[in-house]
Amino acid sequence: MSTQTNLLATTRRSSTIDDVPTIPTRVLKGIILLLCCTVVIVPFIGVISTSIASQAHVTESGGFVLWPDSLNWASYRAIFNGGVVQRALLVSFVITLGGTLVSLAGSTMLAYALSRPGSFGQRPILMIVLFSILFSPGLIPNYLVVKEFGLLDSLLALVLPTAINGFNVIVLRSFFMSIPASVIDSARVDGAGDFRIFWSIVLPLSRAVLAVIGLFYAVGYWNAFFNAMLYISDTAKWPLQLVLRTYVINNTELSSGDLGGASADQLPPQESIQMAILVISLVPILIVYPFLQRHFTKGMLTGAVKG
């Protein structure tokens, strides 16, 4: 299978050589992409700069520094001081990894069951999945259900309620459905059962969408704080985002303002902390992303269909 993929990639590259786009097209594309990247990168440089700028510089430039005049790690030191954030990082890793596995397993199996034409009960189940996107339960009923299941203060409360996302299931299903019937039929002729077909044919052929949906779930778990805020009282079990949230309070306009907080200024400037938090929570995503990205930026799979 992998050799086939490689073969295909090579043929593609070689065959495109005699089909190079015109120079003006390439220049135009270059300009567009450069523009897009600049618009994104400049604020990000600002984010990093602000996180390491000195208090005076942050204040003088009105809260947002485009380029730091000095290196000041006070924000990072303040955040990692006390070991709370380190522990939360570990919790977040566990939830993200475990949660993504649970989600992918449940979602792909459900999506596959819904992708076989004419299978029993498909339509009602599909409607259940679809309507779950359109109706969302309220805060309090969610809490009571989690409480009744005895999941308060358990990490499972951060995984199970959000494990199956209807949107993701429907997207997975549509990808599974685009796998040619002939591939599946020929496997069936060879005597493979439904699960076998799912495991050794459908999943390997769907690496791209698995990478994407896996990323959707992983990012969802990584960024989630709301359920943890509601369900987890023991702060030792708080995920990173919830802990980091307590570092930035007085700056959000949604907050009511006066809850004391006078001495929060013993921390480095709020703006720096806010940006440092962002950097800290982005780093793991930046590390993981390239490994997943490989799977969805490269034409790879349909070579298997040939012949």
Partner 1 sequence: MLIDQARATDSGPPGTPTAERSAPPAGGQQLSWWARARRDKVLLLMAIPGLALMLAFHYLPLLGNLIAFQEYLPFVPFGRSAWVGLDNFSVIFNGDAEFLNALKNTLLITLVQVIFVFPAPIALALLLNSLLSERIKRVVQSVLYLPHFLSWVIVIAIFQQILGGSGLINNTLRARGIDTIDFLGNPDSFIALLTSQVIWKDSGWGTILFLAALTQIDQGLYEAARVDGASRLRQLWHITVPGIRGLIILLLILRLGDSLTVGFEQIILQQNLVGRPASEVLDTYVYNNGVLAGQWGVSAAVGLVKGLFGVALVIGANKVAHIFGEAGVYQKA
Partner 2 sequence: MISRRRLLGGSLAAAAGIGGLSGCATVTRSTDIAALNKPVGLPTYRRFDGPKPDLPRSHPLMPDCFYRFPAQPVRVTEGRPGDGSDVSGTVPTSNPIPPTADRNPYWQELNRRVGSPLELTITSAAGSDYTNKFATSVAGDTLGDLFNVDGKFSYLPQFLEARAQDLTEYLSGDAILEYPFLANLSTDSWRGCVFSGGIRAVPIQRGVMSSNLLLARQDLLDQVGVELGSPTVDELNKVAKAVTDGKKNRWAFAVPPAAALSAMLGLPNGWEVRDGRLVHSRELPEHKEMLAISTKMQADGLIHPDGVAKNNQKVWFTQGSAVMTQDTYSSIQSFYRRATVKTFAIGLPVVRDSAGKVGRFLLGSPNNSIAAMRPSSPERTKMLLRVLNWMAAPFGTEEYLFRKFGLPERHYNLKGTDPVLTEAGSSEVCLGEFPIQYLSDGGYPVYFPGHPEAVDVAYSHLRTILPTAILQPTYGLYSPTDSTKGKVADKDFDSLTKEIQLGRSDLSDWDKAVANWRKSGGDAIRHEYEEALAIKGNK
Among 200, 246, 250, 297, binds partner 1 (CB under 8 A): 297
Least Å distance, CB 15 to partner 1, is: 6
- Looking at the Cβ atoms of 97 and 105, the one nearer to partner 1 is 105
Report the C-alpha gap between 12 and 133 in whole angstroms: 39
| Binding to partner 1, residues 7-46 (CB under 8 A) | 8, 11-12, 15-16, 19-21, 29, 32-33, 36-37, 39-41, 43-44, 46
Does 86 interact with partner 1 (rule: CB under 8 A)?
Answer: no
Report the C-alpha gap between 240 and 229 in whole angstroms: 11
Does 63 interact with partner 2 (rule: CB under 8 A)?
Answer: yes
**Binds 264: which of partner 2, partner 1, none (CB < 5-8 Å by kind):** partner 2
Alpha helices in the chain (DSSP H): 2-16, 23-52, 55-60, 74-80, 84-115, 122-134, 139-148, 166-177, 181-189, 194-197, 203-205, 207-223, 226-231, 240-245, 270-296
Does 114 interact with partner 2 (rule: CB under 8 A)?
Answer: no
Compose the 171-210 pattern: x for residues touching partner 1 by CB under 8 A, - for all others: x--xx-xxxxxx-xx--x----xxx--x---------xx-
Burial of 157 (0-12, 13-18, 19+ CB in 10 A): buried
Does 56 interact with partner 2 (rule: CB under 8 A)?
Answer: yes
**Binding positions for partner 2, rule: CB under 8 A:** 55-56, 59-60, 62-63, 78-79, 81-84, 139-140, 143-144, 147, 152, 226, 229-230, 233-236, 238, 242-243, 245-250, 252-256, 258-267, 269, 271
